[in-house]
Structure 1
């Protein structure tokens, strides 16, 4: 297979434990510290920066017997949904190397899909685990916010950042979560009702995506779940609320770099970070209030249904040369992931088939109330027990 540009640095740190991930080859996104290995965040700013300790998530994996074998490519400073804005090699999708692997954890999705590692860690702020998982045909989890430590992880926005695992199967992701989480979550309540928001299946959703997700919904119905149409209060404003907070935080974090050495940024990174320079404190405060209102509305949703199902992306996986409008492409690809970043609970991205025209993977998102990861694992595992999409590998 053509070099996928998934790996920035190969390494080999063998754990000593005998836990549930013993012997697994795990790659970690290059904004997660591994002692003695460079952490570049795929940026020229951090060229040659070597970590002097393990991130908490890496230490947990090693204690449970995992092997850390690679630092994985990403969008520079985890800013971007295609991972093309990297100072390392251009990352590619193993299903079609002319297409993006998603982002910002593009190397994490690509490496698992191609079998370069058994599992990986990414980070998710606005969709950066779920989008690569969907684009590369693997499983990815955005856990309950705060369930997994971010210690030793270079931040984007502490309001939304979380480490998230990826693997080929739901069961693989569940094993990783039990190791990574401080408290693996509540026992799974009985799941009966799956809500499908009408606003996520409109005319602007690609037909190949909608068909695959509708087919998955029918499979879940045959497993005994009730499928009910729902509305998500305030969902039309969710993406803008996340963007306002995240871009404001990015501008604050990188202001000195923007002022002193803007030429070191990848152009697409600089364009997105610069959007935050004009966001006022009042605008950010209004967005924070909007987040509170949105979460209040979601609490009502999760009293009516147990899990919410949506597509992961509304579009087919874009080509690497698919356009120059970075912001527009980001908004479009993240249209369905950002609303669940505003939620404080978990979302699981699961492969559900292949696009009828391009042959690229398609994924669904399953979302539950905070600390109900096990509910998603149980449902996802039942789905994978009667389907074989997760067993397919790129040629």
Structure 2
């Protein structure tokens, strides 16, 4: 089960590498404290997370001159742990979008193939980690915005249990769904960051992993299904019992999330929509404007549907400890992928949006490469609320016997 990988080649500085991927909005002169569990770790944070004295633009012309007065709580914790916060990272404007091309800073690019997207909305975070520009990045995940870039860029990323990591000092999309999550090359590094941001995870025993057939076989790129199925086989060889399961209400979950998020985003940006809609990136404006047509009654119905979805997961997690699906059902699309951003968003987020209804954590892990394009493919592991430790345990065991996380793109800062 030990899979080979190409080692990183010698390369230029982080700034020179970023010329190729455009992952950084603002460089920060920060050497770190030199003491603590994250001493020596170079960290980038998504540009909607406040860093005191630094522009926090949300990749929008609206906030081009906005300078944060204080550190977000997550930044404070990182610095207290010795990390050096060296950059704010590119993103989809106001964290709305799954390709990150709707950025006032110009779209970030995928270091594995710079004509392709890094996914989003935390696209700069995924690209910066994959290219070695930073060791650790923070993104935000509302409907998949940590997990999708992690998958597209071949790194690990966590959407934590709701409320496990503070959102203080983070500009919102939909407060009910917003989370802050760490991204790094390895699951171990993600777990170490989680311990700093939320407290040490509780170790959990995992014996049974549920795999919904519909997530592997239905409407999935065959090359993606092939790679994820091989990962399932690896986990079975590690001794986990693989159990076919069904996820109740999964087919309608994506629409529920869209209804809630677009409704909330339209109300957060109501004044900007009224006064200067021309300042939005076109794709952002198109998506946020959808929320203006969603009534309060429809938003309440979405909240009810979320409760039903979560209630349906209770017996599922009595049967299995973790659920496994592909992170993204399609290959990483090119930057020039067509004009229908809404259709592209639905397709890329088809498997992440349902788990955003869940209160518990989901971990994205790289599991190989698409046999035709050579782009990364990821799986996501989901557990009950507070069971991040279960995900880290499975992810670390998987990475101990595979080598996908060691493979580096050609556009990369040397180790």
TM-score by length of 1: 0.98
Report the counterpart of residue 49 of structure 2 in structure 1: 32
Q: Shift of residue 3 of structure 1?
A: 1.8
- 1:266 equivalent in alignment to 2:266: no
- 1:388 equivalent in alignment to 2:403: yes
> Counterpart of 2:55 in 1: which secondary structure?
coil
Match of 2:140 among 123, 143, 158: 123
**Cα pair 2:91 2:123 within 8 Å, conserved:** yes
Q: Distance in 2 between matches of 1:19 and 1:192?
A: 34
Q: Distance in 1 between matches of 2:371 and 2:348?
A: 19
**Cα pair 2:34 2:40 within 8 Å, conserved:** no
State how 1:266-285 maps to structure 2 within 5 Å.
266-285=281-300
> Counterpart of 2:278 in 1: which secondary structure?
helix
Match of 1:178 among 177, 186, 195: 195
> Counterpart of 2:21 in 1: which secondary structure?
coil
Q: Distance in 1 between matches of 2:203 and 2:79?
A: 28
Q: Distance in 2 between matches of 1:28 and 1:83?
A: 15
- 1:335 equivalent in alignment to 2:384: no
Report the counterpart of residue 236 of structure 1 in structure 2: 251
Question: Structure 2: any 5+ residue segments left out of the alignment?
Answer: 1-16, 411-415
Q: Shift of residue 23 of structure 1?
A: 1.1
State how 1:34-113 maps to structure 2 within 5 Å.
34-113=51-130
Q: Distance in 2 between matches of 1:263 and 1:11?
A: 30
Report the counterpart of residue 314 of structure 1 in structure 2: 329
Q: Shift of residue 21 of structure 1?
A: 1.0
Q: Could you say what the CA RMSD is over the residues aligned between the two structures, in angstroms?
A: 0.9
- 1:362 equivalent in alignment to 2:377: yes
TM-score by length of 2: 0.94
Question: How many pairs align?
Answer: 393
Q: Distance in 1 between matches of 2:326 and 2:257?
A: 19
Q: Distance in 1 between matches of 2:205 and 2:51?
A: 39
Q: Distance in 2 between matches of 1:51 and 1:286?
A: 36
Q: Deviations over 1:324-369 (max 9, x none)?
A: 1011000000000001111000000000000000000000000000
Match of 1:255 among 261, 270, 276: 270
Q: Distance in 2 between matches of 1:361 and 1:69?
A: 26
Q: Deviations over 1:35-71 (max 9, x none)?
A: 0000000000001111010000000000000000000
> Counterpart of 2:20 in 1: which secondary structure?
coil
> Counterpart of 2:328 in 1: which secondary structure?
coil
> Runs of 4 or more off by more than 3 Å in structure 1?
none
**Cα pair 2:204 2:393 within 8 Å, conserved:** no
Q: Deviations over 1:234-293 (max 9, x none)?
A: 111111111111000001010111111000000000000001001000000010000011
- 1:213 equivalent in alignment to 2:228: yes
> Counterpart of 2:331 in 1: which secondary structure?
coil
**Cα pair 1:26 1:119 within 8 Å, conserved:** yes
**Cα pair 2:216 2:229 within 8 Å, conserved:** no
Q: Shift of residue 383 of structure 1?
A: 0.2
Q: Deviations over 1:98-146 (max 9, x none)?
A: 0000000000000000000011000000000000000000000000010
Q: Shift of residue 204 of structure 1?
A: 1.3
Q: Distance in 1 between matches of 2:156 and 2:148?
A: 10
State how 1:277-296 maps to structure 2 within 5 Å.
277-296=292-311
Q: Distance in 1 between matches of 2:220 and 2:302?
A: 27
- 1:372 equivalent in alignment to 2:356: no
**Cα pair 1:201 1:210 within 8 Å, conserved:** yes
**Cα pair 1:239 1:339 within 8 Å, conserved:** yes
Q: Shift of residue 302 of structure 1?
A: 0.4
Of structures 1 and 2, the one scoring higher in RCO (CA 8 A, sep 6+) is 2
Q: Distance in 2 between matches of 1:363 and 1:66?
A: 27
Q: Distance in 2 between matches of 1:66 and 1:232?
A: 39
Question: Structure 1: any 5+ residue segments left out of the alignment?
Answer: none
Q: Shift of residue 17 of structure 1?
A: 6.3
**Cα pair 2:137 2:182 within 8 Å, conserved:** yes
**Cα pair 1:14 1:65 within 8 Å, conserved:** no
Q: Distance in 1 between matches of 2:91 and 2:128?
A: 11
> Counterpart of 1:232 in 2: which secondary structure?
coil
**Cα pair 1:14 1:62 within 8 Å, conserved:** no
